[in-house]
């Protein structure tokens, strides 16, 4: 069996920036164990597996795997998958259905790929002090929890505080059994962006995720209520870095525009 395999840098216009994801185009279904083994072999934060449905040439089933576990939704792997289909299969628009039944859409709009993501609310949350200590956070402005993604959002006072975060990942894992991601964010004082963030996921085998689409499905709603804006531009302050243009179009839907670069194309022989 040969599987067309790609590596795509998402949320960037440049190679070796943004967030790399694997994309595997399947001609026939393969089992979960094989998908997990491939994702472990590629050793990227996420690998997306795409299977075209028989009844609609623009509709794909999509599943996401980290090197150690399957996850329900991944924004940067969805963008990577969209880049491959739009570039290689000459589709102008794509519909995805995830393993959990989530409906996603992507299309070309000028130089960007526009995607429709879900929009998730948050509730107030008080984690134990050990979690704050693991991330070196003192006096957070706000801490909120997105139950849909088991994601904690922590706002800190400024950009430098965000850049200074240097987590103890083992202590973070030990501090919580329910959280899968911690996203630390701050308001931007720069004219180009509305807010910054960093995303840490040691619970699912990713210490720091370079650029995270799913976190912005939470951050968009959080910052919209603070800034009183529906359209925002965000930047994730990892070493690789990446941008997202956000537009809240309903209480449950978020429009995300960005770009991606294909950096590797080949076949996996199994």
Beta strand pairing status for 195-201 and 206-209?
antiparallel
Annotated catalytic residue, options 33, 41, 46, 231: 46
Query: d(Cα 40, Cα 45) in Å, to the nearest integer?
Result: 9
User: Among this protein's residues, is 255 annotated catalytic?
Assistant: no
CA 154 – CA 188 distance, rounded (Å): 15
Pair 8, 84: CB distance under 8 Å: yes
Q: Are 25 and 50 in contact (CB under 8 A)?
A: yes
- Distance in angstroms (rounded) separating the CA atoms of residues 155 and 55: 45
The answer to whether 252 touches 214, Cβ cutoff 8 Å, is: no
| Cα distance between the two ends of the chain | 5
Residues that are catalytic:
46
């Amino acid at each position: 069996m040969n599987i067309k395999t790609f590596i795509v840098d998402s949320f960037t216009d440049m190679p070796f920036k943004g967030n790399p994801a694997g994309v595997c185009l399947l001609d026939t279904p393969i089992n979960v164990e094989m998908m997990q083994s491939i994702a472990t072999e590629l050793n990227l934060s996420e690998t997306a597996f795409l299977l075209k449905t028989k009844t609609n040439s623009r509709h794909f089933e999509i599943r996401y795997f980290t090197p150690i576990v399957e996850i329900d939704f991944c924004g940067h792997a969805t963008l990577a998958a969209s880049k491959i289909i739009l570039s290689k299969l000459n589709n102008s628009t794509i519909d995805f259905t995830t393993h959990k039944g989530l409906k996603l859409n992507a299309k070309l709009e000028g130089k960007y790929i526009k995607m429709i993501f879900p929009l998730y609310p948050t509730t107030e949350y008080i984690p134990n002090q050990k979690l704050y200590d693991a991330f070196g956070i003192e006096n957070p402005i706000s801490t909120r929890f997105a139950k849909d993604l088991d994601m904690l959002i922590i706002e800190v006072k400024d950009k430098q505080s965000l850049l200074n975060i240097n987590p103890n990942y083992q202590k973070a894992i030990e501090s919580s059994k329910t959280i899968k991601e911690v996203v630390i964010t701050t308001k931007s004082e720069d004219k180009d962006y509305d807010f910054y963030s960093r995303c840490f996921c040691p619970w699912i085998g990713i210490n720091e995720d370079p650029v995270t689409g799913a976190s912005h499905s939470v951050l968009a709603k959080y910052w919209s209520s603070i800034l009183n804006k529906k359209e925002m531009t965000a930047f994730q302050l990892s070493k690789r870095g990446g941008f997202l243009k956000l537009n809240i179009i309903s209480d449950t839907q978020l429009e995300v525009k960005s770009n991606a670069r294909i950096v590797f194309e080949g076949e996996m022989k199994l």
